Structures are given as C-alpha cells and as structure tokens.
Structure 1
Amino acid sequence: MSVRLLALVGSLRAGSHNRQLAEAAIKHTPQGVGIELYEGLAEVPFYNEDIDVEGSVPEAAARLRAAADQVDGFLLFSPEYNGTMPAVLKNAIDWLSRPFGASALKDRPVAVVGTAFGQYGGVWAQDEARKALGIAGAQVLADATLSIPASLTRFAETHPVDDGEVVDGLNAVLRQLSAEAGTAAA
C-alpha cells in the first residue's frame, strides 16, 4: 500500500528555504510514500464562516479541502514570523478544520518541520502549528520534529536537498509520519 502525504509550506516567497526543505523531502521520500506539494495557499481567502457555506465555498478553499481528502497524512513546513507561524499556514489549518465535525485533519497524522533564520530554527512557530493542529483534531506527531536554525547562512550556497544532516532529519520524520499514516489508512 502506498502512503499519500500532503505538504503545506507556510512561506510564499519564491526563494523560500522552507519550500526548498519540502523539495528535499519529496526528493528523498521513502519507497511507498508519495508527497504532493500543495500549490495555491496564496489564493485561499482568509477563513470566514460567512463564506464557508455548503455549495458556495470559495474555489481555492474547496481545492485545498479536496486535496486534503485524498491523503493519509500531512507534512507542514513552517518558517517563523514574529515568533509564530505565518498567517497562510494558520489559514490553511482553519479551512481544513471545518466544517465542524467533518475536519479533513481529524485523526490524521501530521508532522511539522521547518527552518528559520533564528538560532532555534522556528521552534516557536512549529509549536504553535502543532497546537492549532491538535485543537483541530489532527493526530500530531510531537516527536517527529526538525528545526533547522540559521537558514540564511546554512542554505546560502547549499540547497537542503544536498545537506546530509537535513536529509537524515527529514528521513527520520518521514519514516515516523509514513508509518503512522499507513496505520491510519489501513
């Protein structure tokens, strides 16, 4: 059986190190695991219950929910903005957590990783994302973590896909997440 994961990147910047981290995860995905890098978070409107009405959900939000319905688990990549997760990632979590009782996240395994310029690699943002995901009903893998500090210098000349330590860390997270996702899908 193949395990399907959806990757959500919390940075919209073209040269995002977190997007590069997601690309590294995709390139080094274990056999039997497929990762879809979701494109289109920038188009998803801010969550508003007034527009989250069956039959008229905004198209970009409906596409996100449809993509989430096709996977066994989620891998989120979060930079840290002002000590917390970026709004685009929180917005995705909000859309996926609804409608109440039918969350696309409910009981699905999720891991949160990332890189940031600071000395802690974005751990505050990743912790905030895990908190929001847990409240939304996801099965948050608290031990499947990877926080890479000093992204601007570490990845100035090296793409994460070519950094052995990063690849090893991603592989450990992916093994744990795919094992949980495979169990949940069975």
Structure 2
Amino acid sequence: MSTSLTLDEIAGLLQRRGAAQYGREAVSQLDHALQCAHLAEQAGETPATVAAALLHDLGHLLAAERQQAPEPDDRRDDLHQYIALPFLRHLFDEAVLAPIRLHVDAKRYLCQAEPGYFDTLSPASVHSLALQGGAFNEQEARAFLHQPFAAEAVRLRRYDDLAKVAGQPTPELGHYLPVLAQAARQA
C-alpha cells in the first residue's frame, strides 16, 4: 500500500476492512464511520467535518491492513488518530485532518472540562481512554482549546460517542463519496 490513498482506495479500504468489529463496541468499523458521518451531516456540518467524521478511525483500518490482522490489538494504543494522516494529507487540508488528529484529545479534554462526561463513555471508550493517557489536566485542556479546529474535534468526538448503535440506519457509503470528493476539492 502506498503512503497516499485515492478516494477510490479509501472507499475500498472501508468496504474491505469495515466489516470488522469496532473494538469492543456493538457495531462494525464501517457502521461506526457511517453513523458518525450521518450525525455530522444531520447537524449541518461542513463537508470537511462530515469527511472527518467518516474518516476519523481510518487509522484503525490502516493498522489492521498493515499488520494483515483482522483487528488491531486493543491492549495498547495504536495511535490511530495519527496513522491515517500521511495517507490523507495530499487529498485533504487541515479542516479534515485536524479534527481526525484531535478527536482522541477531544475525549481527554471533555473528561476534564465536563463533569459527568466520563460517565457517558462506553466501556470500550473508557478502556481506550486509559490507554490514551486519561483525562487532561486543566493546563492540557486549555492548550487543547487553543488549537485550530479544536471546536470541530469536540463536535466530532460527540458524534463518535453516539455512533455505536447496533442496527442504526444510515445512508450507504456511496452517499458520502461525493462529500469526500467535495472536501478534497475544497482543500
């Protein structure tokens, strides 16, 4: 696999690896991506944020592809928020890439900033949070908020948290391919 993906290769990867279970959640990787993108689209997000919602966990699929394994090892943090960036950088600008890169930090931020947020996390998200370094302290939370696209990453994180419903109807992947193309053209 090259270090750059075309839109067709992204679609192929989602179709090929997307049937794998999404970690310890009750949905597949593709179902999670589609639910996340659908929530972003329903909220009126820009094409860039919808694209980021669809692609935010692409790093998990790339890691599994590289390892020739059915699923990533969930006993360590695979840093999936960074893995996909080199593969996507030639297609998308920071409006797509930054929310992908920051969605894990957004969870860490929300755990510090919002009382009760941690209690809303799924058991799998609690597990991954521990692997990812836990909640931010106040200084880390302030630094997070000063980054470009932090607000988009927080919204993406909220969609991510809600996009774990078994059997939730969403548009098919083909519905989002023009959104990806539009976000790529705007880059």
The two structures share one fold, judged by TM-score above 0.5: no
Scaled by the length of structure 1, the TM-score of the pair is: 0.32
Query: Higher relative CO (CA 8 A, sep ≥ 6), structure 1 or 2?
Result: 2
Name the structure where helix makes up a greater proportion of residues: 2
Name the structure where strand makes up a greater proportion of residues: 1
Scaled by the length of structure 2, the TM-score of the pair is: 0.31
